[in-house]
Amino acid sequence: MHHPVYVFRHGETVWNAEKRAQGFLDSPLTETGRAQARAMGRALAHELRQAGHAPADVVVRASPLGRVRETLALAAEEAGLAHHEGSFDDRLREMSWGEWDGLTGPEIEARWPGAMAARRLDRWTYEPPGGENYIAASARARAALDDIAALAMERPVAVFAHGGIGRVLRGLFLRVPEAEILDMDQPQDAFYRLHRDTAARIVSHGAD
């Protein structure tokens, strides 16, 4: 890739605050989440100025889920990014928890006793009922990343996605072992610049 790829997670949502699994389901951003989205947009604008890129040059790719659409709209307004319906890519949706989507940990444990403990023992391959494991998520993330990398040969790319699928994208880019991917952070007040085999964490607080 000749140009950087910026990878964002959506801002805090109501279900994040309630510690509910979201997966393919959705909840709106909290006021904190909306502030995070705006701050990330300002930080991206600063990054682009420093690198000499015009916002109009940036290609946007994003998950179509509502919490990402809301984050993108706020961040794009701050950064001056252009996006349209063709910017959304189903492959960038969050990993599905299947029947666990929308539930808290205690609710999952009550309905599927021992399932959460089983998942903690093998997080990469464990598949929630009706959901995805990291193997399946990595396959679609790899396909999306290949297309994003091709775009980045010509222009910078801003990717707006989720915690789980975002760290898979970063891990695949860095070619790190599965265990390292699982230990990567999932910030909502920072984003990552992927470029030249490195991933730089960019904190959005105080960006001008």
Catalytically active residues are 10, 94
Q: Are 59 and 86 in contact (CB under 8 A)?
A: no
Number of C-beta neighbours around residue 150 at 10 A: 11
- Residue listed under structure tokens 């959901």: 131
Nearest residue to 175 via CA among 205, 206, 207, 149: 149
CA of residue 92 relative to chain centroid, distance: 8
Please provide residue 200's backbone torsions phi and psi, each rounded to the nearest 5 degrees: -100, 125
Nearest residue to 83 via CA among 62, 68, 98: 62
